[in-house]
Amino acid sequence: MDSARISHFLNHLYILGISGVLLGAFGIQFLDSEYPCPLCILQRMGMMLAASGAVLNIVRGTQASHFGMAIVGALIGASISGRQVLLHIAPDDPGYGNPAFGMHLYTWAFVVFVVIILLCGLHLIFDKSFGSEAPKKLGMLSKATLGLFALIILANAIAVFCEAGFHWVLPDNPDSYRLFGG
């Protein structure tokens, strides 16, 4: 398998990984009836921003600028999640929401952003396919991956609209879906 094909495959894996994390957060939101706070929503946006680099790699071919976009997106997300970690770092602070696998979601988000930056760095070091042309026609797997990612973004837009209602910003500690009069 040549470098371009491996890179193409890894970009799919990268988007599917981030989609899995976002779906997990969505699952906790609805199955555990948790209301995501404004910083949680901003971290989801950071993950999507970081994934946009991989989307461009798949559709337009591998370019260093796309990895730059992913790193900038991950740095923004890491700043937000790091900020939330620091908000709850004091002893005896229960944190926001219930922990998942031993850590709160914002701590996991920070780990995810650091891993994204690390993977982008490794990809930039070892990938030899820069400047390669994108496939003329996207395959079924690519269409399904990009479709799933777009669907997750749309679902988040609808969910956050339900949570915020017709207000410009979310409350600091949301406790209802304000669109439905909560």
- Chosen residue from 6, 52, 148, 177 binding another protein by CB under 8 A: 52
- Binding of another protein at residue 83 (CB under 8 A)? yes
Q: Which stretch binds another protein (CB under 8 A): 5-13, 17-25, 75-83, 103-111?
A: 75-83
- Binding of another protein at residue 93 (CB under 8 A)? no
Closer to another protein by CB, 25 or 55: give it: 55
**Residue 115: which of 150, 148, 70, 149 has the closest Cα?**
70
Per-residue interface string for the shown chain with another protein, residues 127-166, x marking contact by CB under 8 A: -------------------x--xx--xx-xxx-xx--x--
- Chosen residue from 6, 28, 59, 114 binding another protein by CB under 8 A: 59
For residue 34, give the amino acid letter: E
Distance of CA 14 to the CA centre of its chain: 10
Closer to another protein by CB, 13 or 101: give it: 13
What residues are paired with 100 via a beta bridge?
Answer: 103
- Chosen residue from 89, 125, 140, 169 binding another protein by CB under 8 A: 169
What residues are paired with 145 via a beta bridge?
Answer: none
- Binding of another protein at residue 74 (CB under 8 A)? no
Whole-angstrom Cα distance, residue 36 to residue 173? Answer: 8
The sign of the dihedral angle between the CA atoms of 151, 153, 157, 163 is: positive
User: CA distances (Å), 106 to each of 47, 55, 70, 82, 86, in order?
Assistant: 12, 24, 19, 8, 10
User: Which region, left, alpha or beta, applies to residue 150 given φ > 0 means left and ψ of -120 to 50 means alpha?
Assistant: alpha
Residues at the site binding another protein, with contacts judged by CB under 8 A: 38-39, 41-42, 45-46, 48-49, 52, 55-56, 58-60, 65, 69, 72-73, 76, 79-80, 83, 87, 146, 149-150, 153-154, 156-158, 160-161, 164, 168-170, 172
